[in-house]
Structure 1
Amino acid sequence: MNMLILMQGLLIMHLTGLTLLAGTTVADYVTFRTFSNQFKTLGEPSDSLLKLMSRLAIVLAIGGGLLLVSGVGLMAVTHGVFMHQLWFKIKLALILALVLNGFLVGNGQIAKLKKGLKQSTDRTDRLVSGAIVRLNIFYLLQLAIFLFIITLAVFKIN
């Protein structure tokens, strides 16, 4: 197979994975905001919105898988030439921050939110309110990191 065609195919996969990750994060944030506004207004959670947020995690995983496989493929095709550039090292660190923030903060806060919604006491109501505030910050941080990653990839700052 022609290396140029292989590289272009991997790049298409890479951009598709990035689009799925960033787009799903935006969709998840919009769903979360709708959920939290509805919860504040009506005082009761929307099970359908919570289920939608859970299902969006599948799309995130697919996007992450595409990004990982294509990224490794691109590194193999280019013989790791980008590994020595500052912008790429920063990009990798930001991707790691995205993943860690998702697993450590996002998943933890979603679990607290779901746990607090199952019971209705003063303590769990505070737990839910705190989780909503922290999840709002979490999503905004994730989106800011995506914006910074895209900016780095475009300008390739060294």
Structure 2
Amino acid sequence: MMVRRAQDGDRRAFEQLYRLHVNRVYGLCLRMTGQHALAEELTQEAFIRAWERLESFRGDSQFFSWLYRLTFNVVLGDKRSQQRREARVVGTDDLESLGHPAQGQRPGLRADLEAAIAALPPGAREVFILHDVEGYKHEEIAEIAGIAQGTSKAHLHRARRLLREQLA
């Protein structure tokens, strides 16, 4: 098994795993960030972390499910750091100088949505992104996240309800 060889330190086996999964990992990063350069950077970060943490893969699920979850966490971690950096750069005095949006426009709708998604409980957030953003089916989500299909459906229902409440 290629994963077992990579866990034993075989760099060529890991390189094969990289080639096999890099496009899907990049696709996830791109869909979550919307930026090609950042997606490339996060793809590399995900594979670096995968190499560093390869011994934690126990084989209970498919390798890509483990890699997907790791990548998902890398992207979320980057988003959190970016938000912290932006919060330090923009002070409250700077916010007042930004002016007012044109009438009829909802200022910061995308930012509001991203903040609302980030505020979701972790399980609900993960299922929401996997299902509504990434387009995975509940069966696939159950395998990736290691939960039952019914739990996936419940998390999605909860996420949508909480988002409606927050954005209303």
TM-score range, shorter chain: 0.3 to 0.5
Structure number having the greater helix percentage: 1
* Higher RCO, 1 vs 2 (CA within 8 Å, ≥6 residues apart): 1
- TM-score with structure 1 setting the length: 0.38
Q: TM-score by structure 2 length?
A: 0.36
